[in-house]
């Protein structure tokens, strides 16, 4: 691995918040809101940021917009925290191009999901092996295991084969569903075989975070609109206070569960970020969900209940 400081590695832990991509009400990139959202995340104490993921609407951006978002966030962060850049693409050459561009701008590593509908262990392994060889040893890789979106099942055996073969694979974004047993199996078999332990950060909106931390996760890589909760929960677990951590988590659970809804979750999350002053518009680029009056009222009620509980 490269000696450059600030890169993600096997010991990375905490909260790498998945950043939304802000647009104006007419669907154009909102650069001022990129700045204010980045500041918001940093103020809430996140360990790192992950940009241009699925929640970041990366597939809806033009090539020029992708570069603009990378430059804007990395300039705003100024090396204060590590920034992981999602570079998933149907073309391995585009993955390579995006990865090298991200690292040249100061990224801490790249996150890669498999191309959709790989069917066998050999196909999944061959896909990642090709990408890892293209990128080389100096670009740290986070494997994104998100079969609900990609349709690809990455088995425990394939994860371990990849970890053994490619030292640049340092992190797993775990969001199989249901997947907690898989997390346990990765940790237990890795320890039993004496292999290299990698960082595991969990997704799925943080819905199962306390249980996943108890099973060996190192933190979260998700985009809940109250990232300070994720930060505090992970810190309490790392301090050996799991009951206190879960008690805090449970206060936020109704809103977190509501935000996790498939299909409409991103619109809810962006609207909550708007209401918190982090972005100016909750616009989701088309095609995407639009909240109606009942959705807005429902969200407001849940936010009100959360704030009353915290008070």
Query: Per-domain residue ranges for the chain?
Result: 14-310
* 5 pLDDT above the threshold of 70: no
Q: Tell me what the mean pLDDT of segment 159-167 comes to.
A: 97
How high is the pLDDT of residue 207? 96
pTM score, whole prediction = 0.96
Report pLDDT for 2: 38
Tell how far CA 114 is from the center of its chain.
15
Nearest-Å Rg of the Cα atoms of the chain is 18
Distance CA 237, CA 242 (A): 5
pLDDT of 4 reads 52
pLDDT digit string, tens, across residues 257-284: 999 998 999 999 999 999 999 999 999 9
The superfamily in CATH containing domain 14-310 is Aldolase class I (3.20.20.70)
Q: What percent of the chain has pLDDT over 70?
A: 98
- 124: its two tokens: 């999944």
Supply the pLDDT for residue 55.
87
Confidence band, pLDDT 50/70/90 cuts, at residue 60: very high
Q: C-alpha distances in angstroms, 188 versus 26, 143, 148, 197?
A: 49, 19, 24, 10
Per-residue tokens: 301: 């009620």
What is the per-residue pLDDT across 193-230, written as a single tens digit (0 to 9) for each?
A: 999 999 999 999 999 999 999 999 999 999 999 999 99
Contact 206, 256 (CB under 8 A): yes
Q: What is the mean pLDDT of residues 34-44?
A: 98
Q: Quick check: 7 pLDDT over 70? A: yes
The pLDDT assigned to 94 comes to: 95
What pLDDT band is residue 151 in, cutting at 50, 70 and 90? confident
């Amino acid at each position: 691995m490269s000696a450059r400081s600030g890169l993600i590695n096997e010991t990375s832990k905490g909260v790498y918040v998945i950043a939304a991509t802000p647009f104006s009400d007419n669907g154009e990139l909102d650069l001022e809101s990129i700045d204010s959202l980045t500041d918001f995340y940093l103020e809430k104490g996140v360990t790192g940021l992950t940009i241009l993921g699925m929640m970041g609407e990366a597939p809806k951006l033009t090539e020029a917009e992708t570069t603009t978002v990378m430059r804007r966030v990395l300039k705003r962060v100024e090396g204060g925290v590590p920034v992981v850049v999602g570079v998933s693409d149907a073309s391995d050459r585009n993955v390579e191009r995006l990865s090298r561009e991200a690292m040249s701008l100061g990224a801490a590593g790249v996150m890669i999901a498999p191309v959709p509908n790989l069917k066998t262990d050999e196909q999944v392994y061959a896909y990642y092996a090709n990408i890892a060889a293209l990128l080389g040893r100096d670009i740290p890789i986070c494997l994104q295991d998100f079969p609900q979106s990609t349709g690809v099942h990455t088995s425990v055996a394939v994860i371990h084969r990849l970890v053994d073969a490619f030292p640049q694979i340092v992190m797993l974004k775990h969001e199989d569903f249901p997947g907690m047993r898989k997390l346990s199996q990765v940790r237990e078999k890795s320890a039993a075989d004496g292999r290299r332990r990698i960082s595991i950060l969990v997704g799925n909106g943080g819905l199962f975070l306390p249980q996943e931390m108890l099973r060996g996760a190192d933190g979260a890589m998700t985009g809940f609109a109250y990232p300070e909760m994720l930060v505090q929960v992970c810190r309490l677990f790392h301090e050996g206070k799991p009951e206190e951590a879960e008690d805090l988590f449970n206060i936020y659970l109704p809103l977190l569960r509501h935000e996790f809804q498939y299909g409409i979750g991103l619109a809810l999350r962006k609207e909550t970020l708007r209401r918190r002053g982090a972005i100016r518009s909750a616009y989701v680029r088309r095609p995407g969900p639009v909240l109606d009056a009942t959705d807005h009222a429902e969200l407001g009620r849940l936010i009100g209940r959360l704030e009353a509980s915290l008070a």
